[in-house]
Structure 1
Amino acid sequence: MPSWIESFFGGPIVSSMKFLPANRTVTNLQVSSAGCLVLLTALTLLFTPVSGTAWFAIANLIGMPIIGGVIHILIMIIGAIGGAYGIFQRDQRALLVSYVAMLLVTLRFAGSKVEFGFDLLPEQEILQKVLLIAYAVFLVMYFELTNGIIRFSMLDTSIRTGEVYVMGEGKIIRQYYRAIGITPVVAGIVALLTLLINLIIPAMVGIFDSVQADRLRESVELTSVYGVALGTAMVFTVIAAAFAVNLPLRLQQMQEGRANK
């Protein structure tokens, strides 16, 4: 008999699957995911203070602010333990719980004060933003690597049980490794350029007018949401230009040309 949740949604939200023992690719992804989870948990603890969260506000309303901190740490622990269990047991439901916890702990009220969990961060703005971008990249990589565990486990089980036949499995794996190596680097660089727009614009203007550049450095707008929006617009302009000259196709043709030599 299906549960009431399965009856409501017309089936299980996350299917429970049994896999054969992990092969080398899956094991590598499990180890990488575990390392990513450890770093992500540490950065989450560093970058996500309890202030500004719904449970912190509720705890203050009832006059017991310590409860907010306990709930905050508990959510992180659930995310870490659920992630570790899901990684090594290849349990999609545990991974889903971990995803929800890791995202839930970052939610803040829009008007909450910008601050960090501990006073251990360097005072330099650039270093703080680099660490913040590292947190975002590790969060995305955690999602990608753990999903890769499930996908390659399904593929390996299907191949070893004779359900499917896949040609060039090694090539697929190499392309996947290349993608998960290049994608976070590109994403991190793009995010860094977006967040450092308040330094990039004054530097460009300073080539022509040093006085105006100093005014821009002191401008509040460039360090606010407007600055991030401007940086995002510039990044999308660069991306649009790359697609306008059909850069992806040209890179693919270059790779195919090297492979045929």
Structure 2
Amino acid sequence: MAILVFGKSGQVARELAKLPETLCLGRDAADLTDPMACAEAIRFHQPAAVINAAAYTAVDAAESDEAQATLVNATAPGAMARACADLGIPLVHISTDYVFAGDGETPWQPDDATAPLGAYGRSKLAGETAVRDAGCTHAILRTSWVVSAHGANFVKTMLRLGAERGSLNVVADQIGGPTAAADIAAACHRIALQLIDAPDKTGTYHFAGAPDCSWADFARAIFDEAELNCTVHDIPSSDYPTPAKRPLNSRLDCSTTNKTFGIERPQWHASLTQILKDLGASK
């Protein structure tokens, strides 16, 4: 029972490649800047299910390159979803908390009103709409703060800077759930298998690590686990301006995911320990 995965070098795709019966397609086989090629890849491989783990994730760059971000994050997933609808197979599509405005302190529900703050969020929201409009069996899985031993992410950045400096200023007013790529991959795989037999589970879901914390507190946990003597100073987001505005509230209510698929929120402390072991950086 093969599951076709779009993505090969990204954090989640590299973890999906470790799971059974998965075929991961890189840009050489399915470039998301060519949506029709993605649809043709699905028709060619005739998989039991599809997971889209590929995306334009350069949040700041998207502010000046929204057309490309939208092509990859919206037009391509829409083409995938239409192919899946034609073949009667399910699609799991990874989305993001950036589709929300990021205000308040209440965890976002899957059916809450969306209001992205920037180009990246708008492109991902357009992708969600394209998947829904295609009419295929699907699960849109919104997640947040993805980390792993692969690629560029917050854990690896903190390890590098923490080894170089005695103190760091880290944003403390953005709150969310750090989520290991391995946990996202496992959830996507499990959801895809369930959708094959239970298409009525189609819908939008949330998945994020627990407990919610600030970037500053997450940095402290990284330094503690890695035994790095680096002091973290809390700063507001206004002291660290970026081209794209970040949501302050990235909390995601994941209870529907647990109820529907039996998947609980992973504890990020345990996932962090494994990531540091993979990197050879744990105590």
TM-score, scaled relative to structure 1: 0.26
Larger Rg: 1
Which structure: greater helix fraction?
Answer: 1
Which structure: greater strand fraction?
Answer: 2
TM-score, scaled relative to structure 2: 0.25
Greater RCO, CA 8 A, separation 6+: 2
